[in-house]
Homo-oligomer: A and B are copies of this chain.
Amino acid sequence: MRKRKIPQVVVERMAVYLRILNEMDTDEPDRYISSQDLGDLAGVGAAQVRKDLALFGEFGKQGVGYQVRLLQDELKRIMNVDRPINVGIIGVGELGTALARYNLRRSADDKAYPFRMAALFDNNPAKTGRRVESLEIFSAEEVVDKVKEYRIKLMMITVPASAAQTATDLSIKAGIKAILNFAPVKLIVPPQVKLLQSDVSLQLHHLAFYL
């Protein structure tokens, strides 16, 4: 399976399916869920669920559905969250600090939460050397070294728009392959790097439709 060939909307739905299964978290070996029920919870049709999952393998049984625990394990493996993933943040302003704390709290509350905050970065010398809870803040110049040292695989960018491309270029130079950008600006990344934009303005537009 070539990951890049899977449409982004399918990957988004896979993440939603996994969240639903995680919320059902069960050790009962005989708990099953139908594609209809999984679809209802995810807001898509049963046929879409079957089509999405079929891209990755044969997980269900005709007339019985999917074994919850088994499908959960398979989706974790497919989504690469069957192991901890170290995360960094460049930009320790209010948003960066809030995201760091959020992830620390999630990790503490839920042992199965795969994303581990590893280090923070900021180009303001007044911030470097300080900490957000247990997390050290390093300078932007240290990104390449610390990404390697802390085995950071995923970077969140929470710097102002004007600094976001520089922060992105540094992350890529450090070997980062997946970036979540919160700065309201379009970033340029090479094809081997996956970039997602976290855009509150898009969600506000979406909501405004219903007013």
Contact = CB atoms under 8 A, between A and B. Distances in A.
Given A19-B205, A98-B98, A154-B211, 18 more contacts: A6-B209, A12-B206, A15-B205, A15-B206, A19-B202, A79-B205, A79-B208, A79-B209, A85-B211, A99-B200, A102-B200, A103-B200, A106-B184, A113-B201, A154-B207, A177-B211, A178-B207, A178-B210
Interface residues of A, number: 53
B19 A210 contact: no
12 contacts: A8-B43, A15-B206, A15-B209, A19-B205, A85-B211, A94-B97, A95-B95, A114-B205, A180-B200, A180-B207, A196-B203, A198-B200
A204 interface: yes
A190 B208 CA distance: 17
A54 interface: no
Contacts of A14: 209
